[in-house]
Structure formats: C-alpha cells, structure tokens
Amino acid sequence: MNAHVGPAQTLKFRAQSLLAYVLEPVPPLADWFVALDAWLARSPTFFIARPVILDMAALDISLKEYRELLSDLARRHIRVMGAENVGRALVGPHLPPVLSGGRTIDAQTLREDAPALPEEEAPAAREEEPPAASRTTAGANSLIVDGNVRSGQSIVHPDGDVTVIGRVASGAEIVAGGSVHVYGALQGRVIAGISGSQSARIFATEARAELLCIGGAYVTAESTSSEMEGRSLEARLDGDELKLRILS
C-alpha cells in the first residue's frame, strides 16, 4: 500500500511595528476616569478597535486594583494590548503582556525609520469608514480628502497632515499625526498632533466644531466663545493650553 505524503507545512511569522495609543493613568484613579469619560463623551469611538498601551509608571496599585482598572477600561470599549512600567505583582496569566523598548514617535521619526519597501508593500494610512469621495495623497506624509466627511465616519492618518476639501459633519472625526486643514464647515471632531508634534495646528474656514484637540489639550463647542462660531479659525498649542485665533 502506498501512503500519500502531503507537502510539509511551513510556519510563517514576521515582525511588524504599529502605531499604538498610550494611556497614562494617574492617581487618584476616580478623577482620571472622570477626565477620560469627559473625553469619550466628545469622541466615543476614538479608542474602539485601536491598539492601546497602558503606561503604569505613575501608579502603585495592587493586583486587585489593576484588574479593576482593566475591567473599567474594557467597559468603556478600551482593550489594552500591553502595559509598560509594570511591577512584578502585576504580571501573570490573563493580564496584558509587559512591553518595553517603545518610544514616542513624531512625523520625522516615522520618515527616518520607515524601511525602504516597494511601493505595493508600503503600509497605507489607516482609515475607518472612508468617505465615498475621492482621496489623494499629496506627498508621503499628507492625505487629501476631496469631499465631505459624513457623520459617523472617521479618518485616521498618523503619518502627517490631513486636508479636507469639503465639510466635516457633526459626528464625524479627523485624527492626524500633523496638522488638519478643513476647507469647509467643520462641525465634527478634529484631533491633531497625535504623533507628538507640538507644532501641529488646526485650520477651518467655518468653525462649528464639537471638539478641537492638539496634544491632549482641547476645547469643546460649549467652551468656545460665540463670537468664534462660523468664523475662519486657527487652533494651536500655547504651552499646555489650546489657543484659538480668528483668521477672518
């Protein structure tokens, strides 16, 4: 009897880097969660389906408290893929793996560290539910959205600037590693400078934004002066504060 021998199976694996968002909880945790909930009220889908790392450097908590922290985050649809600066007591089965060696990135680092890949293998900017309107890329680190961004849609481009030639509707979201330019009515949420750029700015020709944020500093529609509504605006960081300036 002749036995049929199939081809030997090979195990394939590879290393891959990715952009992760780092949350740094600080004591008291109750107050930190109040600030987090205020953020999620303005941008409820920001962390959904995105890799999140916890930096535990500012916390000295027990294993029980650590598990409660993870559970509280999970209830907010924030799934932790790993943790940095974790003590030995917080390491074990069914807990996020301990990560080390990561570093804060900026747009220049992304350009310098990016491997020289063939064009068809180059990693694309991550976008969620992209608009039906055409999209073009102007240069390696800029994304142009030629059309409106509808409510519920999210454009995420961590590698550089985003320019929208159209309207950003209420409930829509733009997230950029660099600056954001909106040539139209801005009614949704804009988060700029997520790559760590302190010089990132937000420009809008007709500002009615639900949220403007750069580097963790943000303003909401409720906290914005009524004289700025519907005007052409620039938002930029001034220290730890977000400053708005009327352009016209």
Q: What is the pLDDT of residues 78-134, one digit of tens each?
A: 989 999 998 888 888 889 998 876 655 544 443 333 333 333 333 333 334 444 444
136-155: pLDDT as tens digits: 555 558 899 999 999 888 88
pLDDT at 1: 58
Residue 192 has pLDDT above 50, yes or no: yes
Q: pLDDT tens across 26-84, in order?
A: 999 999 999 899 888 877 777 877 788 999 999 999 999 999 999 999 999 898 999 99
pTM flag (> 0.85) = no
Find the mean pLDDT for residues 164-187: 93
Instruction: Read off the amino acid at residue 94.
Output: H
For residue 26, the enclosing domain spans: 21-90
E strand residue ranges, the chain: 21-23, 52-55, 80-84, 134-137, 142-146, 154-157, 161-164, 173-176, 180-186, 189-192, 201-207, 211-214, 217-220, 233-238, 241-246
Assess contact for 185 and 168: CB atoms under 8 A.
yes
Q: What is the mean pLDDT of the chain?
A: 80
- Measure Cα distances from 222 to 89, 171, 179, 246 in Å: 43, 15, 23, 17
* Tokens coding 80: 């932790």
The verdict on residue 109 lying in a domain is no
Output the six-digit token pair for 123. Answer: 């990693």
Q: 3-27: per-residue pLDDT in tens?
A: 666 666 666 666 666 677 889 999 9
Q: Tell me how many domains the chain contains.
A: 2
In a domain, 107, yes or no: no
Please report, rounded to a whole number, the percentage of residues in the chain having pLDDT higher than 70. 76
Angle at 213 between CA 221 and CA 222, to 5 degrees: 15
- DSSP codes, 25-59: --SSHHHHHHHHHHHHHHSTTSSTTS-EEEE-TT-
Q: For position 73, what pLDDT does the model report?
A: 94
Q: Is residue 206 pLDDT above 60, yes or no?
A: yes
Instruction: Give residue 56's region: left, alpha or beta (phi > 0; psi -120 to 50).
Output: alpha
Answer whether residue 47 is part of any domain.
yes
In a domain, 166, yes or no: yes
Q: 218 and 171 share a domain?
A: yes
Can you give the CATH number for the domain in which 38 is found?
A: 3.30.70.260
40/86 same-domain check? yes
CATH at residue 175: 2.160.20.70
Q: Report yes or no on 150 lying in a domain.
A: yes
Pick from 47, 75, 90: which residue ends a domain?
Answer: 90
For residues 228-245, average pLDDT: 90
The verdict on residue 241 lying in a domain is yes
